[in-house]
Structure 1
C-alpha cells in the first residue's frame, strides 16, 4: 500500500499531490481517496462554476498572506509548464475597489510581489468607492484547471481510490505514514475528525456569455460584487454574488438572480449602449457551497490511531487562489521538508 494518503480530490488535495510530485516524492508512495473527482457534479464538491482570480489580500494574518503570495508565484510556473489554454490559467487585469481604504500594511504587502498595479481614479470606480486598484494577475478556469491537475498527477502514477469514507481510520493501513485530510466540508461529518466549526457558505452566481467583456472587476461594499471573464470558456462571464455562511439552501433563488444582475450592472460597464438587463445572454443560474469554517482554515497536525494526520481545509471560496500555499504548509508540517 502507500505511505502518503490524500483524502479529497478538490483543489486542495490536488495541489498537495502536485507539490509532493514536484518535490521528488514517488507517485508509488502517494494515493488519493475521494468520493468525488473532477467532472463530478455535487453541492458537496468543488463547484464547476467557481470564479477564481488571485485578488488583493485583505487579511493581515501572516500565514494567509504567505499562502496567497506563494500561490500567485506558483501559478505563473504552472501556466508556463502546461500552457495557458491547457490548464486554464491566464493573465488578466483586475480592477478592485472598496468603500473603505485598505490598511497601509495590506497595500505594502500586495505591492511587494505584484509590480504591475496603479491606483484607480474616482471616475473609474463604482459609486461610493473610496479606493481602488488596477493590477495584472491570474484568472482561472476552475473546472479546466482542476481537471488538468487531476490528469497530470494520475498520469504520473498516483492511484485514485474513488469511494466514500465514513471514518478517517478506513484509509489507514500498515504502510500508511501520513494522511493529508483535504476533505473540505466533509470534515464536519468525517468520523475521527467531526469538526463542528465547518459549515457551508452558500454562493449563487449568474453566468452570461459576453464576448465584449474583458478582465475581472470586483467591488466590495455591503455586498460582494464581481464580474469574472473566465478564460478559454467561449466568452463566459461569472456575475456575483453572495457569501452566506451556514446557509444550507441548495435552491437557486430567482430574486437573488435579479439582485445580482441589478448590482453588477450598476457597478460595472457590463451592458452595451442601448441594452438593458433583459438583453443579457444568460447561460445558467447556479448555487453552490463553499467549504467554510469558523476561525478560517485549519492546517494542523495530530496523531489519530497512531498515524500522522495533517488537516488542511476550510478555505471557503479561496482554495484555488491560496491553496498552493496551504498545501506547502501542510507538507512542511508533515515532512519537515526544506525544499518547499
Structure 2
C-alpha cells in the first residue's frame, strides 16, 4: 500500500482519489476544500458543469472522457443526491463538419440536426444526451463519499510541491489546475490561463445550448429552475472581480 498525497481538492483531484482509495492511503491537501464558503480562488465551485467532448482529443484522451462519462451517467440514476442529472445537449458549431467530431455517435441518443433546426450562421448541429451537475452540491457529496472510504483532507496553503514532503508520502499527484505556473519549484510557463465569467439566472429552460465559433455562447440548465449563461474566454487574465459591462453586453446579450 502506497501513501499518496494529492495536491488540489477540485473535481480532478477528488476523481483521482476515488480511483486510488481502495488500495492506497490517500490524503488530499489544498487551501480551499469542498464545503467551504464560495471563493473565487479556485474554479471548481463555479463550473457549469456539464460533460462535453473536448476538441482535439487524442485516442487515449477520448477513452478517458468516455469512461468518465459512463460513471457520471450511472451516478445520475444510482445517486441523484449528488445533483448529477441526465439532460439533452444541443451542440452547435460555426466552422466544423461532422467528420471533425470525435464523439460522433458515441453519446446517448446522438443525432445530427437538420438544416431547419440550426440557428443562423451555424454549419453543424448535434443533439445528444449528456450530464449536468451543481458543483456546490456535488463537491461536498464527493468529499463525504471519499472520507467514508478512508481518504483524508487537510487544509494547507502551499507555495511549492516540495512543502508536502513533511506530510510523509510515496507519491505526490499535482492536481492544482493552473497552479504549476506559480508553484515555486515548477513555474511551468506553458500553462495558459483562461478567465471565464458567467451569469446564474432563474429559468425553466430544460436543455443545454452550446455554440462554438464566432461567438462562444452557452446556456446550461441545471434542471433545478436555474441556468448558467456564458461564455467568456479571456486568455492570460486572472482578475477575479466581476466585469459588469462584460456581463451586460456579452453574456446576457448573446444568450438572450
Q: Secondary structure in 1 aligned to 2:196? A: strand
Q: CA deviation at 1:246?
A: 0.4
Q: Which of residues 211, 215, 219 in structure 2 aligns to 1:219?
A: 211
Q: Secondary structure in 1 aligned to 2:242? A: coil
Q: Report the equivalent of 1:8.
A: 8
Q: Report the equivalent of 2:238.
A: 248
Q: CA deviation at 1:77?
A: 3.2
Question: Are 2:83 and 1:88 equivalent residues in the alignment?
Answer: yes
Q: Report the equivalent of 1:295.
A: none
TM-score w.r.t. length of structure 2: 0.90
Q: Report the equivalent of 1:261.
A: 252
Q: Report the equivalent of 1:185.
A: 178
Q: CA deviation at 1:173?
A: 4.6
TM-score w.r.t. length of structure 1: 0.69
Q: CA deviation at 1:235?
A: 0.8
Counterpart-to-counterpart distance in 2, 1:205 and 1:129: 23
The residue correspondences of 1:124-273 to structure 2 (distance < 5 A) are: 124-173=117-166, 175-211=168-204, 213-231=205-223, 234-258=224-248, 259-265=250-256
1:61-109 Cα shifts (integer Å, max 9, x gaps) = 223322321211121233344x12x1111100001111123351x44x4
The residue correspondences of 1:115-130 to structure 2 (distance < 5 A) are: 115-130=108-123
Q: Report the equivalent of 1:39.
A: 35
Counterpart-to-counterpart distance in 2, 1:170 and 1:249: 27
Q: Which of residues 23, 26, 29 in structure 2 aligns to 1:25?
A: 23
Question: Are 2:80 and 1:69 equivalent residues in the alignment?
Answer: no
Name structure 1 gaps, 5 residues minimum: 266-340
Distance change (3 Å), C-alpha of 1:119 and 1:174: closer
Task: State the superposition RMSD in angstroms.
Answer: 2.0
Counterpart-to-counterpart distance in 2, 1:262 and 1:175: 52
Contact kept in structure 2, 1:34 and 1:164, CA below 8 Å: yes
Q: Secondary structure in 1 aligned to 2:185? A: coil
Distance change (3 Å), C-alpha of 1:60 and 1:102: farther
Counterpart-to-counterpart distance in 2, 1:174 and 1:149: 23
- Alignment coverage as a number of residue pairs: 253
Q: Secondary structure in 2 aligned to 1:192? A: coil
Counterpart-to-counterpart distance in 2, 1:177 and 1:230: 40
